[in-house]
Structure 1
């Protein structure tokens, strides 16, 4: 079964089940059990227990006491960890998928103005390599979402708008080519555009996205929109 887009998983203002579990663990001063988590954040054992085991293997959570009888629960304690939920596999190893977007979001806030190549270089590390094409695609989607503004043509460079510094979590480009901002907990692109003239976007490659007219005069993105565009090589 394919994984649901993140915007279909989030429930209410408290975030995804994993976000709620981690918030409870990180804020807990005393030892806790999986039952404590379930009672506090309303996440069933089938979701919280596997994640808890992964956090133990990764060193974020420690074991305090193993169950002495069948009716007992294992007791845990928080050891360390970031504000955001650690992304770990079942064996405790870190998940690197999506790390490129996280690095680029962080770099955008630090660099000021940047080109695709500058963003790619600044966002690469020993663990994660961000290519020029990946940087170009991410820039394209954030421009469409209204997060970036083009400030020069040769070389093409962009800046992150102050009003769009929405938080520490990187806006995510979903498989369906939507942009989801986990800080706002909503899809920020595409949006319906009132009127007959869509906004222009200075995306890598110099093309503005095309819009289709819907009945009633609204402009919406056609199904073909959102495919990756060839970025500039600056």
Structure 2
């Protein structure tokens, strides 16, 4: 497969139709099987997760959901444009923003650092490290994210390492939004406002 010639929508479609019922594969296995890059597989898997077609069943291992199996059997083709979840109520459309990509990367990961999230989500975004750190603080204050006691190893001998986090509340595909006036996090998945009153 010539990965360079694939259109953005073709990558998640290729991953969708590659996975088999009940099969759990790691990112590395998908990369090796399809000849894609890690970034392409990560982005493609993120689009499938947004549509509830893919889920992480254990750290680093992904399999198709019931909706994903249905989409595969129906020959569904994933498009590269914005996508709105199919819900009974009114919900904010899922847009391809930096915050949305951060949230998707968190949902796909076990533990993560700010640098790892930036690597997965940034596409020439301005000041991605600061934006990522700020969003993590909001999620932590709302009880969605926890800072882990053991840091990731630093790149220099004198480094104290990097803070590691884990997502505690994976409520759905749409990234929660911080509301400064209310000092709360609006969760589009649950439809509730969560106060950001936990210690940072």
TM over 0.5: no
TM-score bucket (shorter structure):
0.3 to 0.5
Query: What is the TM-score of this pair, normalised by structure 2?
Result: 0.45
